[in-house]
Structure 1
Amino acid sequence: MRFRLGPHVAFAAFGIFWGAWGASLPALRDAAGLTEAQLGTALLCVGAGALPAMLFTGRAVDRFGVRVAGLFLLALGAAGILLSWWARDPVSISVGMLLVGAASGASDVSANALAALGEARSGRRVITVSHGVFSSFVVVGSLGAGALRASGQEAVAVFAAAGALIGVAGATVLIRSNGRPVTAPAAVTAPSARTLARFWPFVVVGLIGALGFAAENGHQSWGAILLEDELQAGVGVASLAPATFAAAAAVTRFAVGASTRIPESVLLIVGGVVASAGAVVVAVAPGILVALCGVTLAAIGTSVLFPTLLSTALRGVADDRRGRATSAVGTTAYLGFVVGPVYVGLLAGLVGLRGAMLGIAALTVVFAVAAPAGRRLVARTAPRTLRRR
């Protein structure tokens, strides 16, 4: 498979899963008989499963090649079906979410490694475009799942349909992608202090990326609630907030990924500034239309932050080390995705939801300042053993 196509197939499957997931959470909650608090606790299991899987997936990619992304996608589709069929109480849904988290984390790292390889070989912004594909297919998965649920189908039918599509995509990536790194793989041993020292610059970059992820998931998780609670929007209108965010993010990623003319340093700084401006507009919005304009600005800004940062961090990394470098960045950055909604919730409890939006703006301001420094850190301090020979 041409590597410009492989990453897009992988991210399309990933997006379908998470689109179906978001639309099916109410059905999963009801099937397991959970309260809102119990569902929130169970959802922590997704992160608990994802983080260790992300940490070790990079080593699998370096050892066996990027085709393992196909296997992890197959596991993700199967985990969704198993969860929807099996979860009937708090314990079973928590175990199922651990499995979903592990499969999702592994799929995330391996798909990004696949995109990074495609970018290294083509010289194009494959990572950014692939993330645009993801955003687009989140919308597709959400609409498809919503249509199935509206027709009276249970969650297991939704995940069976999504799993079938994900299975086709995973099998395609597994069969048609290159199976091994183009350079000889290094022996895979237990992580040592020396190994960790080699990858610490990528961990720092991941911490910066966590700021962008925290802002992104903060908007996605709380946008609809702000429209309902602060601007008295109905449920249907409030749902426009996450839909608008996803659509604007997808369009921006496709536009930026289509050309390499805009310098990456500009994307990192301007993206952070635009994201902050959008969050401020949301915070002070007097009405729904202005708030949605702010959501659009926030999406335009945040959508380029992590893909651009990841692309610059991985440029020049040797093929047999790219998986572990991707894992170091992705695992650390994922902490922001998990913590972001919690951060907004805690701030909202102290200063209100509008004030919490200003807290999101602060995150992306810090990102705009720190990202160029992180980019230079990797370029200057990443050991030569990680670079392409």
Structure 2
Amino acid sequence: MSQTSDRPVLPAAHRELSFGARQRARYATMVLFFLVGMAYASWGVHVPTVRDKFHLDAAWLSAALFALTGGSIATMTVSGKWIARVGTRRACLVSGLAMAGCAALILIVPYYWLLLVVLAAFGGAMAALDVAMNAEASAVESALGRPIMSSLHGMFSIGGVAGAAAGGLLLSSGMTPASHLALAALVSALMLCAACPSVLPHVPHDEHPHASDSRVSHWRSPALWALGAVALIALVAEGAMYDWAAVYMRDVVGATPALASAGYAAFSGAMAAGRFGGDAVRARFGAAQLVLVSASIACAGMIGALVLPFTGTALIGFAMMGLGLANMMPVLFAAAMRVKGVHAAEGIAHVAGVAYVGMLLGPVMIGGVAQLTSLPIGLSVVALCAALVAVIGPNVLKRLGI
């Protein structure tokens, strides 16, 4: 029996909104996705700065990065209930301002232990904002009556590119790293304050048309665990690509440093492009068909890159991986918010929390297999994950009525 609603029915507070108000909510959500991507990239360019400031070796730098990821995963286990209670507008504002404040502190804290605290708080605030804006995105998608989730995730990718590019330009022009992060935090806060008033009004769980009389705990929902398992497998593959694509290009393909970085760029660029096309495909063919075709493309691309380890074929394969993985999380988040009896924010938080474990484990898993065998064999795990998603994902979505 399906545990999701076949067609989303709008709550009264959203049915009464004008088309213009719904469109403004969409644009506000686009801004939220953009600024999170920008904020994450602005921090990302300073990983070497943190390493040099605190004189960290690889192990201690990894611990700092783990603090950020750990803070994110820990927050996702509890943020859903809070967002369901206060609403996405307030949750986005509070968590976004906390994220901006933590970002401004990263490079001015004097002690390493304090850096770990700030990074954990930064990751937690970003995770809460991530869940809240995805819950808002799902509500806006329902209000507009057409898929928009993938294009919103595309705005995250654009924000990442913009944040990295702006950071590089400002740093090369002489701005200090601490000043750059402070400026990025200020811009994020201003964008957040401008966007949040247009976010859809809060609807309590018991006023949702599909809320059940007896509310289901997200921890006991088989539907959410099934969606989370598919998302985890997908993010194992995605996380591995972020960390190992350039290494494969350099060590196996034998590419120059410039072309080695092009492997990562091909993956990321194709992912962004795929997200902007994903909504139209989902609207026409459905979520299950989109996941099947996308995962098959990703699997074929990874196999091609491994079987034919040449520069051109590897770049094409990595681009196919990016294109294939682009719409996994948008589709699964959209499905999570429609599980009956579970608030959208709690459903998304549950699926995201399970999935991000895959993002954390993916690079480590591939590294372990590569250490025991070789990097091509290690990356074959990525192809296997894509194949599993192609087999399992559509069946899960169909059984849930998506």
Q: TM-score, normalised by structure 2?
A: 0.86
- 1:210 corresponds to which of 232, 237, 242: 232
1:278 matched to which residue of 2?
A: 301
8 Å Cα contact 1:129/1:258 also seen in 2: no
Seen in structure 2, the aligned counterparts of structure 1 residues 161 and 245 have a Cα distance that, compared at 3 Å, is: farther
Deviation of 1:244 (Å) = 2.0
- 2:85 corresponds to which of 45, 63, 67: 63
Task: Tell me the amino acid that sits aligned with residue 75 of structure 2.
Answer: A
Deviation of 1:117 (Å) = 0.7
Q: Give yes or no for the alignment of 1:126 onto 2:148.
A: yes
Deviation of 1:96 (Å) = 1.9
8 Å Cα contact 1:58/1:325 also seen in 2: yes
Q: Give yes or no for the alignment of 1:222 onto 2:244.
A: yes
Task: Tell me the amino acid that sits aligned with residue 271 of structure 1.
Answer: S
Quote the Cα distance in structure 2 between the aligned partners of 1:159 and 1:294.
35
**Sequence identity, in percent?**
26
Deviation of 1:48 (Å) = 1.4
2:321 matched to which residue of 1?
A: 298
1:189 matched to which residue of 2?
A: none
1:311 matched to which residue of 2?
A: 334
Which SS does the other structure have where 2:175 is aligned? coil
1:269 matched to which residue of 2?
A: 292
Which SS does the other structure have where 2:146 is aligned? coil
Quote the Cα distance in structure 2 between the aligned partners of 1:128 and 1:98.
28
Quote the Cα distance in structure 2 between the aligned partners of 1:225 and 1:116.
36
Seen in structure 2, the aligned counterparts of structure 1 residues 255 and 154 have a Cα distance that, compared at 3 Å, is: same
8 Å Cα contact 2:336/2:344 also seen in 1: no
2:15 matched to which residue of 1?
A: none
Seen in structure 2, the aligned counterparts of structure 1 residues 236 and 121 have a Cα distance that, compared at 3 Å, is: same
Task: Tell me the amino acid that sits aligned with residue 78 of structure 2.
Answer: F
1:90 matched to which residue of 2?
A: 112
8 Å Cα contact 2:141/2:148 also seen in 1: yes
8 Å Cα contact 1:279/1:358 also seen in 2: yes
Task: Tell me the amino acid that sits aligned with residue 51 of structure 2.
Answer: R
**Ranges in structure 2 where 5+ consecutive residues have no aligned partner:** 1-20, 209-213
Query: Which stretch shifts more, 141-150 or 212-221?
Result: 141-150
Quote the Cα distance in structure 1 between the aligned partners of 2:257 and 2:166.
19
2:278 matched to which residue of 1?
A: 256
Q: TM-score, normalised by structure 1?
A: 0.89
Quote the Cα distance in structure 2 between the aligned partners of 1:197 and 1:42.
29
2:14 matched to which residue of 1?
A: none
Q: Deviations over 1:228-253 (max 9, x none)?
A: 22233333332222222221111111
1:81 matched to which residue of 2?
A: 104
Q: How does 1:306-345 map to 2 (within 5 A)?
A: 306-315=329-338, 317=340, 321-345=343-367
- 1:164 corresponds to which of 186, 196, 218: 186
Quote the Cα distance in structure 1 between the aligned partners of 2:207 and 2:187.
32
Query: Which stretch shifts more, 278-287 or 38-47?
Result: 278-287
Which SS does the other structure have where 1:3 is aligned? helix
Quote the Cα distance in structure 2 between the aligned partners of 1:223 and 1:73.
31
8 Å Cα contact 1:282/1:357 also seen in 2: no
- 1:364 corresponds to which of 376, 383, 386: 386
Task: Tell me the amino acid that sits aligned with residue 289 of structure 2.
Answer: V
Q: Deviations over 1:118-155 (max 9, x none)?
A: 11111222211111111121111111112223234332
Quote the Cα distance in structure 2 between the aligned partners of 1:72 and 1:197.
23
Task: Tell me the amino acid that sits aligned with residue 304 of structure 2.
Answer: V
Q: Deviations over 1:21-65 (max 9, x none)?
A: 222211121112111221112211112111121122111221111
Task: Tell me the amino acid that sits aligned with residue 223 of structure 1.
Answer: A
8 Å Cα contact 1:69/1:114 also seen in 2: no
Q: Give yes or no for the alignment of 1:351 onto 2:402.
A: no
Seen in structure 2, the aligned counterparts of structure 1 residues 162 and 241 have a Cα distance that, compared at 3 Å, is: farther
8 Å Cα contact 1:6/1:114 also seen in 2: no
8 Å Cα contact 2:223/2:339 also seen in 1: no
2:395 matched to which residue of 1?
A: 373
Seen in structure 2, the aligned counterparts of structure 1 residues 51 and 25 have a Cα distance that, compared at 3 Å, is: same
8 Å Cα contact 1:275/1:301 also seen in 2: yes
Seen in structure 2, the aligned counterparts of structure 1 residues 356 and 166 have a Cα distance that, compared at 3 Å, is: same
Deviation of 1:203 (Å) = 2.4
8 Å Cα contact 1:278/1:296 also seen in 2: yes
8 Å Cα contact 2:28/2:196 also seen in 1: no
Quote the Cα distance in structure 2 between the aligned partners of 1:72 and 1:165.
15
8 Å Cα contact 2:305/2:313 also seen in 1: yes
Quote the Cα distance in structure 2 between the aligned partners of 1:21 and 1:300.
25
Quote the Cα distance in structure 2 between the aligned partners of 1:106 and 1:8.
17
The CA RMSD over aligned residues, in Å, is: 2.3
Seen in structure 2, the aligned counterparts of structure 1 residues 197 and 74 have a Cα distance that, compared at 3 Å, is: closer
Seen in structure 2, the aligned counterparts of structure 1 residues 127 and 92 have a Cα distance that, compared at 3 Å, is: same
2:132 matched to which residue of 1?
A: 110
